[in-house]
Amino acid sequence: MKPLNIFDDIQSALDKELFEVLAQKGTVKIERIISKGHSSPETGWYDQEQDEWVIILQGSATITFENDTETKLAVGDYLNIPAHTKHKVSWTNPDIETVWIAVHY
């Protein structure tokens, strides 16, 4: 079996955030997300049925929660977001691709 690399095939010109499922089994899903200056739509919040754990492998981002609390994430920072915690991505670095890993469980 040949290993894959999380940094392979990263496009520098992204019209929208890229979500790729890397593995999924049962209720667990692991995604690679690539952002470059992207943010969530102005209206609406992520309100997920499952917990979500995210880590930044490259770049940086800010997540805003419904209570207006902001969490800034840099390389190596990770965060666990409990199910039904309303949040959105309010900023990602426009100068470099931000590479996230998200685990939905």
What is the structure's pLDDT at 49?
A: 96
Q: What are the pLDDT digits (tens) for 59-101?
A: 999 999 999 899 999 999 999 999 999 999 999 999 999 999 9
Q: Alpha carbon of 96 to those of 14, 26, 92: distances in Å?
A: 11, 33, 9
Are the C-beta atoms of residues 12 and 97 closer than 8 Å to each other? yes
Looking at domain 29-104, its CATH architecture is: Sandwich (2.60)
CA distance 87 to 45: 5
What is the structure's pLDDT at 42?
A: 79
Instruction: Classify strands 28-35 and 18-25 as parallel, antiparallel or unpaired.
Output: antiparallel
Check: pTM over 0.85? Answer yes or no: yes
Which of 98, 13, 94 is closest to 54 using CA atoms? 98
What is the structure's pLDDT at 105?
A: 98
Q: What are the pLDDT digits (tens) for 55-66?
A: 999 999 999 999
